[in-house]
Amino acid sequence: MNRTKQFSLIFMLISIFAFSQTNYSDGFKKGFKNGYCQDQGVGCIAPNPPIPPLPKIGESNESYTNGYNRGFLMGLEAQKSGSSNSKRFKTSRAKFIDKMDNVDYSNAIKLALILRESKGKALEFYKNEEYQASLDIALKGLSIRSNDEEFMILAGQALLGLNKSLEALPHLKRAYRITKDPNIKKVIIDIENGRAEAIKKSGSNKLSKTNAQKINQLLDEEKYVETISMIDSVVRSDENHRFYGLRGMANFNLENYSQAILDITKMAEVSSKIPPSFLVYRANAKSNLKDYYGSISDLDIVIDNHKNVYGDMASVYNNKAYSLLLLGNAKEASPIINKALKLNSKRDYIWDTKGEVEYKLGNYKKSISAMQKAINIRPSGNSYYFKGLANIKLNKIKKGCTDLSRAGELGKVEAYEEIKKYCN
Q: Is 222 exposed, middle or buried (0-12, 13-18, 19+ CB in 10 A)?
A: middle
CATH no., domain 223-302: 1.25.40.10
Residue type, 259: Q
The Cα–Cα gap between 49 and 31 comes to: 9
The Cα–Cα gap between 80 and 86 comes to: 9
What average pLDDT does the segment 378-394 reach?
A: 95
Kindly state the percentage of the chain with pLDDT values over 70.
Answer: 70
Asked if 51 and 136 touch (Cβ cutoff 8 Å), the reply is yes
pLDDT for 159 beyond 60: yes
The pLDDT tens digits for 104-152 are 555 666 667 777 777 777 777 777 777 788 888 888 888 878 888 888 8
| Within this chain, domains 223-302 and 344-424 share the same CATH topology | yes
The Cα–Cα gap between 308 and 343 comes to: 13
| pLDDT at position 398 | 95
Asked if 122 and 154 touch (Cβ cutoff 8 Å), the reply is yes
Asked if 353 and 337 touch (Cβ cutoff 8 Å), the reply is yes
| pLDDT at position 165 | 74
| pLDDT at position 83 | 38
Q: Is pTM, for the whole model, over 0.75?
A: no
Asked if 220 and 34 touch (Cβ cutoff 8 Å), the reply is yes
Q: Is 120 exposed, middle or buried (0-12, 13-18, 19+ CB in 10 A)?
A: exposed
Q: Is 197 exposed, middle or buried (0-12, 13-18, 19+ CB in 10 A)?
A: middle
The Cα–Cα gap between 178 and 181 comes to: 8
**Cα 20 → chain centroid:** 24
- How many residues are recorded in the chain? 424
What average pLDDT does the segment 239-253 reach?
A: 71
At the top level of CATH, which class does the domain 1-202 belong to?
Answer: mainly alpha
The alpha carbon dihedral of 373, 379, 385, 388 has a sign of positive
What average pLDDT does the segment 61-72 reach?
A: 74
| pLDDT at position 90 | 33
CATH no., domain 344-424: 1.25.40.10
The alpha carbon dihedral of 30, 32, 34, 35 has a sign of positive
The 3-state DSSP class for residue 101 equals helix
Distances in whole angstroms, Cα of residue 38 to Cα of each of 43, 48, 72, 133, 235? 11, 15, 9, 29, 26
The Cα–Cα gap between 70 and 174 comes to: 29
The 3-state DSSP class for residue 170 equals helix
What average pLDDT does the segment 360-365 reach?
A: 96
The Cα–Cα gap between 275 and 91 comes to: 17
What average pLDDT does the segment 217-246 reach?
A: 67
| pLDDT at position 395 | 96
Distances in whole angstroms, Cα of residue 27 to Cα of each of 30, 62, 349? 5, 10, 27
Residues 6+ apart with CB under 8 A from 294: 283, 286
pLDDT, mean over the chain = 76
Give the residue with greater pLDDT, 64 vs 6. Answer: 64
| pLDDT at position 10 | 43
The Cα–Cα gap between 312 and 134 comes to: 17
Q: Where are the domains of the chain?
A: 1-202, 223-302, 344-424
The Cα–Cα gap between 30 and 63 comes to: 13
| pLDDT at position 328 | 95
Which of 245, 234, 315, 318 lies closest to 59, judged by CA?
Answer: 245
pLDDT for 163 beyond 50: yes
pLDDT category of residue 320 using cuts at 50, 70 and 90: very high
